[in-house]
């Protein structure tokens, strides 16, 4: 394998969680360990003091939430880590789903106070669809939360995944004293606001040693001995193969805001997490060790730098070596293009790179060539599969409030929907532009960004649609007739694919029954 050394030192993963579980804070702490940033931004409720490195859009800073996936690359113990921080808010779930297609493993953050929440369940379903390896970080142990064993049981039951505790907490809330590392038999004592290199660690190979009683008190030492015996009896050693197959999730306890328990997780992560994996394409499986380059675009971000109207396409490299200024084949457009300024990222700051290897996520300056799901190769014609577009849940008509700015509005909505923030449908036989989103917050973000970035003022009018279905048929005539008869409910997506907008489940079922020659699809693989 030509690039074996480079491939084996790469780990590409996403951090996922329900909003407010502490995901962005954990991201920062990992960057601190990697030396990528020097000071942490305190993200507290929605009042942001120093901004988290990964939240670079103005609206994110105002609200204290991540609404776009950020990509960060850093080195740690001779591993090159590509970390993708995802939006936790359910209204941006689609961005997160697509990001999960570009990673090899996941760290799931769970709030010890609230336990498993709705968004956590949804994200785990996507991980299970792909058998993605998961590590669980139970955060906020310094707050009064649920009992540790109740929490483990809840996670196993709700997320349908077997857990394997790697550390055990000693109390929680104001009595939180630290964690015991079951793997290397060490005790880590808790002090608030620990610096990355100042950890209070003791190796305690024999739990009956009196040093344990001196460090944490007799009562807690007795409890810890019982807990460890119980856990060892039930779980035994971690089976790394089961973790890699997505069957078992190692669990760590800690407090991200205090930088506590994070290093233990990171050290285990770089040892067990998968190196870049093989991926399915439309014709065959492509593996990282192949000599020829291939990669796919999973995200597009317009105006990363508001001073320049730039669009960056985020590409996951799947095989071979990517080189600056070399021509690659754009499969959908059937043309060769080259990139003089490919980037690696630390959130907003970009560094031009000369080359990149499987597992890396790079930014390509885009003049409008890319859509989500596009594949680049060294000549072979295939598409990477499994990057879906889902039916939106809320539909609104886009109304221009300033006719003088029609051009800016058209360009803005085109670019923002290329990013996958929302879907754009144009009604058949008319010019009505319909925006479909998963949640209300996306409409706010679109309205805000259209005004701030393109100077275009708009408003949205609610439409009575329940679902968008993509239509296919072997009988072109029947499909044309259907679209003509159902003109008010027919539209095309931005790739020109016909879409039926159903007012209700009853209408949808009726049309499916009445039109057996037409297939109704609830998701659309973006390259088709």
CATH number at residue 71: 3.40.50.300
The residue ranges of DSSP E strands in 60-175, in sequence order, are 70-76, 79-85, 105-111, 134-139, 162-165, 167-170
454 and 411 Cβ atoms separated by less than 8 Å: yes
341 Cβ contact partners less than 8 Å away, ≥ 6 residues apart: 324, 352, 365
Write out the residue range of the structural domain in which residue 29 sits.
Answer: 4-173+236-272
Q: Which of 329, 358, 377 marks a domain boundary?
A: 377
Q: Which of 345, 377, 409 marks a domain boundary?
A: 377
348 Cβ contact partners less than 8 Å away, ≥ 6 residues apart: 53, 56, 304, 305
Q: How far apart are CA 472 and CA 475, in angstroms?
A: 9
Does any domain span residue 228? no
- Predicted pLDDT of residue 305: 52
Question: What percent of the chain is predicted at pLDDT more than 90?
Answer: 30
Query: What number of other Cβ atoms are within 10 A of residue 221's Cβ?
Result: 22
H-helix or E-strand containing 270? helix 262-272
**392 and 364 part of one domain:** no
Does any domain span residue 182? no
CATH number at residue 515: 3.30.70.3280
Residue 158 has pLDDT above 60, yes or no: yes
pLDDT (tens digit per residue) in 78-87? 888 888 877 6
Does any domain span residue 178? no
Q: Which of 377, 401, 436 marks a domain boundary?
A: 377
Q: How far apart are CA 97 and CA 465, in angstroms?
A: 23
**328 and 416 part of one domain:** no
Burial track 123-135 (b if 16+ CB lie within 10 A, e otherwise)? bbebbeeeebbbb
Cα torsion angle, 416, 422, 428, 432, sign: negative
pLDDT (tens digit per residue) in 468-516? 999 999 999 999 999 989 988 999 988 889 999 999 999 999 999 999 9
**142 and 259 part of one domain:** yes
477 Cβ contact partners less than 8 Å away, ≥ 6 residues apart: none
Residue 43 has pLDDT above 80, yes or no: no
**32 and 93 part of one domain:** yes
The residue ranges of DSSP E strands in 46-161, in sequence order, are 47-48, 70-76, 79-85, 105-111, 134-139
Does any domain span residue 183? no
Does any domain span residue 205? no
- Predicted pLDDT of residue 503: 92
Q: How far apart are CA 260 and CA 209, in angstroms?
A: 24
Does any domain span residue 226? no
Q: Which of 111, 96, 194 is nearest to 145 (CA)?
A: 111
pLDDT (tens digit per residue) in 371-421? 888 999 998 999 888 776 777 889 999 999 998 999 999 988 988 887 777
**429 and 495 part of one domain:** yes
Number of domains in the chain: 3
Residue 173 DSSP label? G
Does any domain span residue 355? yes
Residue by residue, what is the 3-state secondary structure of 201-220? EEECCCCCCHHHHHHHCHHH
**22 and 131 part of one domain:** yes
pTM given for the model: 0.77
**296 and 398 part of one domain:** no
**357 and 263 part of one domain:** no
Q: How far apart are CA 397 and CA 433, in angstroms?
A: 6
For residues 26-50, give the mean pLDDT. Answer: 56
Concatenate the DSSP letters of all residues of 439-481 into one string. Answer: SHHHHHHHHHHHHHHH---EEEEE----EEEEEEES-HHHHHH
Cα–Cα distances (Å) from 172 to 149, 169, 178, 221, 243, in that order, read 12, 7, 9, 14, 27
Does any domain span residue 454? yes
397 Cβ contact partners less than 8 Å away, ≥ 6 residues apart: 432, 433, 434, 435, 460, 461, 463
């Amino acid at each position: 394998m030509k690039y074996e050394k480079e491939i084996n030192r790469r780990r590409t993963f996403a951090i996922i969680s329900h909003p407010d579980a502490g995901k962005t804070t954990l991201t920062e702490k990992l960057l601190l360990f990697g030396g990528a940033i020097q000071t942490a931004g305190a993200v507290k409720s929605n009042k942001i003091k120093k901004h988290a490195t990964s939240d670079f859009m103005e609206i994110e800073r105002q609200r204290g939430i991540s609404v776009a996936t950020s990509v960060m690359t850093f080195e740690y113990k001779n591993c090159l880590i590509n970390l993708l921080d995802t939006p936790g808010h359910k209204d941006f779930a689609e961005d997160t789903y697509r990001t999960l297609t570009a990673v090899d493993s996941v760290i799931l953050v769970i709030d010890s106070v609230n336990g498993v929440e709705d968004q956590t369940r949804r994200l785990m379903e996507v991980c299970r669809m792909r058998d993605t390896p998961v590590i669980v970080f139970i955060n906020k142990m310094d707050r009064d939360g649920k009992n540790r064993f109740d929490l483990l049981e809840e996670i196993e039951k709700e997320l349908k995944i077997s857990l394997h505790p790697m550390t055990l907490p000693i109390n929680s809330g104001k009595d939180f004293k630290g964690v015991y590392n079951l793997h290397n038999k060490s005790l880590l004592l808790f002090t608030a606001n620990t610096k990355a290199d100042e950890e209070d660690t003791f190796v305690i190979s024999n739990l009956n040693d009196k040093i344990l009683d001196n460090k944490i008190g007799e009562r807690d030492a007795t409890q810890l001995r019982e807990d460890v015996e119980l856990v060892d009896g039930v779980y035994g050693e971690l089976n790394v193969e089961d973790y890699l197959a997505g069957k078992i999730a190692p669990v760590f306890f800690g407090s991200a805001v205090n930088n506590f328990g994070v290093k233990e997780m990171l050290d285990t992560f770089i040892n067990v997490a998968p190196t870049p994996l093989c991926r399915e394409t439309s014709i065959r499986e492509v593996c990282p060790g192949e000599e020829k380059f291939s990669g796919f675009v999973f995200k597009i971000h317009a105006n990363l730098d508001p001073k320049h109207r730039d669009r960056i396409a985020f590409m996951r490299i799947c095989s071979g070596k990517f080189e600056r200024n070399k021509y690659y084949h754009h499969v959908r457009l059937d043309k060769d293009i080259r990139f003089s300024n490919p980037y690696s990222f630390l959130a907003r700051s970009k560094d031009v790179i000369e080359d990149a290897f499987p597992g890396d996520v790079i930014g390509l300056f885009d003049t409008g060539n890319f859509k989500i799901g596009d594949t680049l190769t060294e000549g072979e014609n295939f598409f990477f599969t499994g990057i879906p577009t889902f039916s939106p849940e809320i539909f609104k008509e886009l109304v221009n409030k300033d006719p003088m700015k029609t051009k800016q509005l058209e360009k803005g909505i085109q670019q923002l929907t290329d990013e996958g923030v929302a879907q754009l449908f144009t009604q058949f036989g008319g010019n009505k532009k319909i925006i479909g989103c998963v949640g209300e917050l996306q409409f706010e973000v679109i309205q805000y960004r259209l005004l701030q970035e393109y100077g275009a003022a708009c408003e949205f009018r609610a439409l009575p649609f329940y679902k968008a279905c993509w239509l296919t048929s072997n009988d072109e005539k029947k499909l044309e007739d259907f679209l003509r008869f159902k003109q008010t409910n027919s539209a095309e997506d931005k790739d020109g694919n016909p879409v039926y907008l159903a007012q209700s489940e009853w209408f949808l079922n009726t049309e499916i029954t009445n039109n057996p020659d037409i297939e109704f699809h609830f998701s659309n693989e973006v390259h088709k």
